[in-house]
Amino acid sequence: MTYWRVRALLAGAFTVGLLTWGAIGLRWPDPTIRWILVGLAAFWYLVVGAVIRPPIRYRLFWYSLSDREIDLQHGWLVQTRTLVPMNRVQHLKSEQGLLARRFRLSDLHIHTAAGSVLVQALDEDEAADVRARIGLLAHLADDT
Amino acid sequence: MVATPAAAPAESRTISERRLHPAYLLISFGRNLRSLIPLIAVGIWQAPGWSIGALAGVVVLLSVANWWVKKYSVRDGSLRVRSGLFRRTQDIIGINRITALDAERGVVQRICGVWGLKIQTPGNNHRASVHLACLSASALEELRVALAQPGPMSSADGPIPSGLPLPSAEADAGTESLPAGTTLRKSANAPVPETLAVLGTRTLLIAAFTGTSIPLMLAGAAATIGRARDLLPEQLFRRITREVFTGGPTTALLLLAAVAVAVFAGIGLTSLRLARFTLVREGERLRISRGLIAQRSGTIPVDRVQAVRVVEGWWRRLLGYCALEVEVAGLSSSNDTERMLFPLIRVDQAAELVGRALPELGWRPAPIHRVPVRARRRYFTLPVLLALPPTLGLAFLPGWGAYLAYLPIPLALLVGWGQAADAGWLLEPDTVTLRWRRVLARHTVIARRERVQLTEITRTPLQRRAGLGGVRLLLSSRRKARVRHLEFDDAVLVQHRVGRRSTGFIPSSTMRDLDLADRARDVASGTYREA
């Protein structure tokens, strides 16, 4: 949750800063439109991104593994529940950015032939464990 | 050279390393030359004659070298292709990973009597993984035999696909197809290829009229005029328009003629592409051949077909026709002729054709469940939202343009109404059917329940309050099937029945009648509340 907040704040500070700079420096769109844009960006990143979104996202997210499938739910405005049969898993990838490393978090991509599912911001050790378990289970049921 | 059907399967599944047909030289020379055209066009003004000769020599040498190093072989259940002069590459493809074989030939290849073969595997979504540009008819035949999947049926009654007829065998009895054709008749074991459907001239014309070619041609013509306006000097363009469009009947006639040309060109293009479309079932595989001048013939292992998609375009639906497509992993998602099962067929015959071509799918057409009435009005939301920006944009147009702003919203309402009327779903023992409408075309996907890669339920807060949800299925062809709004319990039911490998099965109709769906809901929302 804190990770999401910090991330939104950082991205927001960058975007809002850029827009403010543009609003001061540029001549073209009407000043009101310029400042409305700045306000919208600030609202999106600093209020929605940092305050409203993380708790909802945190509350909605869950996942479960069984030997047959991966079942998970994520999202905040649009809530999505995904079911991946275990023998459809093609490969797994985990990713960790700089900020995520600071928080000891890691993203896990589960790839199937049709597309991938992203499990965001798992605990580092948990991600490694999940990855190992899915790898093992998916390998057992090996057919395409 | 030709593998006889009597040969042991192990033998017929190996091909020692060999090169492509020498006609490759001609074709690759042509290709190299084509890629050098800009250079030549620039150089021809300045460079002396001998340098062009030297360049041509280099091109010839390169082609020969490329042909020399490109070799293919089939060994140990995999196809190996070695190529590359400076950067050696070797592609190894397991036979059981191959999803489709596409044979095709253009005009030059046809003159030389050779075929190009594209080998498709899942994972490469836009290009063929391996392209063998030139194979003689017998080599192609041999390769087809060698790459045939050792399926369950073939192990029971011998090498099943041995002695396949050439793709052209049904379409035209070309001279090059004779040896293979004769082996077919000799072998008693091989399954007799059954021609399931041939596209007739009348249907072809309807396909051409209702297809995308004509609008594309018109759009292309409009774009050309736009470009001409940009490129030509302003005065010249004005003069041309003034002299050509003198007003009155002449202009009208000219415009009509232009439209007629576009229409005929569109029909011609479609005919070239789809003429003599033939669908053949051979044992465990489907063979599709088509094309008038540039011939194409594709093979799809039945086992690899994940789903059948029925596409009813707006015009075609009015006339009672639809197109059939197959969903196979690795077939390109951009080119719709590659995944075409049959380009145009009467709706009432479609199910029967699919039943004969793919009995494994187990599709029994049944009335589908419609979405509930309270879900229907939600289908209006998205089109209307999408129509708002153009409305605002048009409203600021000067003069009469502003009246155009009245158009988008009613159109959006119409589209939404159609989407609501068409949406539906159905579960059968082996299949799941989703039907939805994009903008004008109605899509029905009949997927093998066990073959769906991912199932997703999506819910917005508004849907949550109304107890609705959306379902999305992802197939390994990287295409989707979705119903945007339906009863949430039904969505959960679909997800559980499709995504899970359960043993028992109750058809959705019974399930709903018995109100067992409630139980499924409890299971699902139980976990949901825990979180």
Q: Long-range pairs for B156-159 at CB < 8 Å and ≥24 separation? A: B157/B189, B158/B9, B158/B189, B159/B5, B159/B7, B159/B8, B159/B9, B159/B12, B159/B189
Complete DSSP assignment for chain A: -HHHHHHHHHHHHHHHHHHHHHHHH--SS-HHHHHHHHHHHHIIIIIIIIIIHHHHHHHH-EEEE-SSEEEEEE-SSSEEEEEEEGGGEEEEEEE--HHHHHTTEEEEEEEESS-EEEEEEEEHHHHHHHHHHHHHHHHHS---
pLDDT digits (tens, 9 = 90+) for B139-170: 888 888 787 755 433 333 333 333 333 333 33
Q: Which positions in chain B touch A113 (Cβ < 8 Å)?
A: 122-123, 329, 453, 476, 478
- The answer to whether B321 touches B310, Cβ cutoff 8 Å, is no
Distance CA B496, CA B512 (A): 14
Q: What is the pLDDT of residue B521?
A: 43
C-alpha pair distances (Å), B10 with each of B7, B63, B74, B216: 8, 34, 11, 50
Torsion on CA atoms B506, B510, B512, B515, rounded to nearest 10:
-90
- The answer to whether B63 touches B29, Cβ cutoff 8 Å, is yes
Q: Measured between CA atoms, how close is A13 to chain B, in angstroms? A: 28
Q: What is the pLDDT of residue B333?
A: 54
pLDDT beneath 50: ranges in chain B: 1-11, 151-190, 503-504, 513-531
Q: What is the DSSP letter of B361?
A: G
CA distance from start to end of chain B: 66
Mean pLDDT of A52-64: 82
Statement: residue A41 has pLDDT above 70: yes
Structure tokens at B135: 């194979």
Q: Which of B457, B461, B501 sits opposite A85 (nearest CB)?
A: B501
Q: What angle do CA B528, B530, B531 make, to 5 degrees?
A: 75
Q: What is the pLDDT of residue B6?
A: 38
Structure tokens at B517: 């769906």
- The answer to whether B297 touches B288, Cβ cutoff 8 Å, is yes
Is B122 part of the contact surface with chain A (CB cutoff 8 Å)? yes
Question: What residues of chain A, 74 to 113, have a C-beta less than 8 Å from chain B?
Answer: 75, 77-85, 88, 90, 112-113
Q: Measured between CA atoms, how close is A82 to chain B, in angstroms? A: 4
Q: Which of A68, A79, A112 sits opposite B453 (nearest CB)?
A: A112
- The answer to whether B468 touches B320, Cβ cutoff 8 Å, is no
Is B501 part of the contact surface with chain A (CB cutoff 8 Å)? yes
Nearest partner of B472 among A80, A57, A120, A86, judged by Cα: A80
- The answer to whether A65 touches A131, Cβ cutoff 8 Å, is no
Could you tell me whether strands B295-301 and B285-290 are parallel, antiparallel, or unpaired per DSSP bridges? Answer: antiparallel
Does pTM top 0.95 for this prediction?
A: no
Q: What is the pLDDT of residue B87?
A: 73
Q: What is the pLDDT of residue A14?
A: 78
Q: Which positions in chain B touch A115 (Cβ < 8 Å)?
A: 453-454, 474, 478
Nearest partner of B192 among B276, B278, B280, judged by Cα: B280
Is A133 part of the contact surface with chain B (CB cutoff 8 Å)? no
Q: What is the pLDDT of residue B337?
A: 63
Is B455 part of the contact surface with chain A (CB cutoff 8 Å)? yes
Q: Find where tokens 């940092």 sit.
A: A50
ipTM of the complex in this document: 0.74
Q: Which positions in chain B touch A77 (Cβ < 8 Å)?
A: 460-461
CB contact under 8 A, A69 and B527: no
pLDDT digits (tens, 9 = 90+) for A114-144: 777 888 778 888 888 888 888 777 764 444 4
Q: Which of A69, A81, A85 sits opposite B456 (nearest CB)?
A: A81
Chain A and chain B share a number of CB contacts under 8 A equal to 80
Nearest partner of B482 among B433, B531, B417, B411, judged by Cα: B433
